Amino acid sequence: MATLTARARKRLSPNKFALPGTDGKPGKYPVEDKGHAKAALARESENVRKGKLSPVQASKIKHKADAVLGNHDSKYHNC
């Protein structure tokens, strides 16, 4: 996984995050490459168990990370 500096993270477009930010806040769970997508999946399941993420948020993270990892046919899934 490539290191993502604070400066580079700020430059990422909202579609490179599994959970885009709102009201000027930065997005959460960057998935700009396969390494970050795998990390997002790991953190997603961990945070659901801790009660920090809702099942809907977890589903969005999983869907977006799977698209980056090529685990579903992106022809039918616009992410």
pLDDT of residue 38: 93
Total domain count, the chain:
1
- Alpha-carbon distance of 9 to 12, in angstroms, equals 5
Q: Report if residue 65 sits inside a domain.
A: yes
Q: Alpha carbon of 20 to those of 8, 12, 23: distances in Å?
A: 16, 10, 10
Query: Above 70 in pLDDT, residue 79?
Result: no
Q: Report if residue 19 sits inside a domain.
A: no
- Alpha-carbon distance of 17 to 60, in angstroms, equals 10
Q: Report if residue 46 sits inside a domain.
A: yes
Tell me the β-bridge partners of 20.
none
Domain encompassing residue 40? 29-74
The band of 73, judged by pLDDT with boundaries at 50, 70 and 90, is low
- The mean pLDDT of 16-23, rounded to a whole number, is 87
20-24, 54-58, 63-67, 71-75: lowest mean pLDDT where?
A: 71-75
Residue 27, number of CB atoms within 10 A of its CB: 18
Q: Report if residue 2 sits inside a domain.
A: no
Q: Report if residue 24 sits inside a domain.
A: no
- The mean pLDDT of 7-33, rounded to a whole number, is 87
**Over the stretch 25-49, which tens digit does the pLDDT of each residue have?**
888 999 999 999 999 999 998 999 9
